[in-house]
Amino acid sequence: MKTKDKLLQARSLLLLDHPFFGLLAMKMPFVPDASIETLLTDGDEIRYNPKHVSSLSMAQTIGTLAHITLHPALGHTWRGSGLNHDAWNKACDYVVNETLLREDFELPKGFLTDGRSNLAAEERYALIRQQPAQPQSKPQPGGKGKGGNKSNKKKKQPGKSDPGRCGAVTPKQDKKSNKKQKAKWKVNIAQVLDQMRRTQGDIPDSIKKDLEDLLNPKIPWAVLLRDFVERSAKNDYNWNRPNRRYMQTGFVLPSLLSEELNDIVIAVDTSGSVIDKLNDFATEISGVLSSYQTRIHLLYCDAAVHTHQQLTTQDLPLKLQAIGGGGTNFNPVFDYIQEHGITPSCLIYLTDLLGSFPTTEPDYPLLWVSSLSDKKAPIGDTVYI
């Protein structure tokens, strides 16, 4: 059987038995390349050494194809930009191989594995870089295993895979190519996931989270917190100081006083699960508020408001303490704001979201900063620490 026919047959079998991997494999063409040891991908194509592929059993060919396909699917072709090529390849191989072993794939002899499936490629890369350099052993004919009779006198070129590997990945080295590659595979993954849903196919549990993170990257809560405060402040304009940016166009528009922020209310749920988040929250909110001239109403509440502290930016950084305890009811904070005539530019509530919520949305911006990530507040916006 010709080598390319063998790869096409392996891809067909992969599509039948493991449709998720098979659909991904359809995204890249096969290109023969006798200058490489095993297989290689840059996310655009799969290059392969015909002799190496010929030496594999069909089961190993299927496993190798799944391996090489999973590299760009997990972002290895752009996440490794600027890193040591060999160390990054090893790190990615560990991640991919552990995934494939859990899915019962057969891999060629000499594949990298250590049974640790909970580490990301970047974590493995850091561990590999900490290890002392090991003398390279001589490869066997066909690029598998270690040892053998042939000497490896040729200097290995960049992008070539080490003996014993299922296949290597060549990261993109410039930002433009990385951005293009990432966008391309984001579309590829979305298309495959959509096909899997429509056919009720199974997506491997071991990589579901990685794929979700690729399609819906998590924005750090501190960034969302800062954005929320900035948006709350952008409602104060000064017509006496026109915006210079638009004066040359003939339009007279007010300047934005983004450094001014009306009273802000910070409520702290005193339940136990919030306690270990107090320092992180205090640090971030202090950093945000230090950019503004504002008055801060700090409320501690469980089933009732226990403490009300009035602070200014001169009192930053905030020092938060757990005061109170017991059951949680969020209504008292909203009632307290109304009863005491506070007109906040926004309310930021640090909580675990386990309590009774108001039934109506307040007429000021509301942000819940939650210590738990399995629940969303019915009103306002929610971010998670």
- pLDDT single digits (tens) 207-229: 776 676 666 656 678 877 887 88
Residue 321, classed as helix, strand or coil, is coil
For the residues 175-192, what does the mean pLDDT come to?
84
Cα–Cα distance, 330 to 354 (Å, whole number)? 9
For the residues 233-245, what does the mean pLDDT come to?
52
- Give the phi and the psi of residue 30 in degrees, each rounded to 5: -90, 135
Nearest-Å Rg of the Cα atoms of the chain is 28
Which residue segments constitute the domains of the chain, with CATH numbers given?
Answer: 3-215 (no CATH), 221-384 (3.40.50)
For the residues 339-353, what does the mean pLDDT come to?
94
- The per-residue pLDDT for range 284-315, each reduced to its tens digit, is 899 888 878 899 999 999 889 989 999 998 89
Residue 70 pLDDT greater than 60, yes or no: yes
Cα–Cα distance, 373 to 385 (Å, whole number)? 8
Q: Looking at residue 360, what is its pLDDT?
A: 93
- In this structure, what token pair is assigned to residue 129? 């870089």
Q: Looking at residue 231, what is its pLDDT?
A: 75
- The per-residue pLDDT for range 108-167, each reduced to its tens digit, is 887 887 766 667 788 788 888 877 655 554 443 333 333 333 333 343 333 343 434 677
Q: Looking at residue 176, what is its pLDDT?
A: 79
Q: Which H or E run contains 350? A: strand 346-351
Q: Looking at residue 380, what is its pLDDT?
A: 92
Cα–Cα distance, 377 to 366 (Å, whole number)? 10
- Positive or negative, the CA dihedral 105, 109, 114, 118 is negative
CA-based max dimension of the chain: 87
